[in-house]
Amino acid sequence: MAARIATLEELVALAPDLASVDPCILEAWLEIAGTMISISVWGSKASHGHRLLAAHLYQVSQPGGETGPLASVTVGPVAKSFAVTASADAELGSTQWGRMYLTLRRTLCRTPVAINTRLSPRQFRG
């Protein structure tokens, strides 16, 4: 697949419940999400990452948007707590789309390369 950003049709195919949302609103969220996706970094995964991020941004913009994983449940006098890991990406972890985006983002190869321009060829050979 070629490296590109997603279309409105692809966003709605990913999240069919968005089909009832005004397309102009979804296009606005696609545009905002597009500024956060670098095609040169994401490569062929850019389109998928773009629509996941757009779906997440739309969802958190809505009143009562998801707030994250369930931490506890109380029924009458009985309470049960669950382990919930805090994350630097807590806002992205607040929706199913954001969590899928984070999972996809972890698959990107982002290895920094350090270059010392002060070494001569003789020093480099050891």
Q: What is the DSSP string of 72-84?
A: EEEETTEEEE---
Using only C-alpha atoms, the chain has a radius of gyration, in whole angstroms, of 20
Query: Which residue numbers in the chain have pLDDT < 50?
Result: none
Show the tokens assigned to 28.
């606005």
Q: What is the pTM of this model?
A: 0.71
pLDDT recorded at residue 126: 53
Q: What is the DSSP string of 8-62?
A: HHHHHHH-GGGGGS-HHHHHHHHHHHHTT--HHHHGGGHHHHHHHHHHHHHHHHS
pLDDT recorded at residue 50: 96
pLDDT recorded at residue 76: 82
pLDDT recorded at residue 8: 96
pLDDT recorded at residue 66: 58
pLDDT recorded at residue 69: 58
Distance in angstroms (rounded) separating the CA atoms of residues 106 and 42:
11
State the amino acid at position 119 in one-letter form.
L
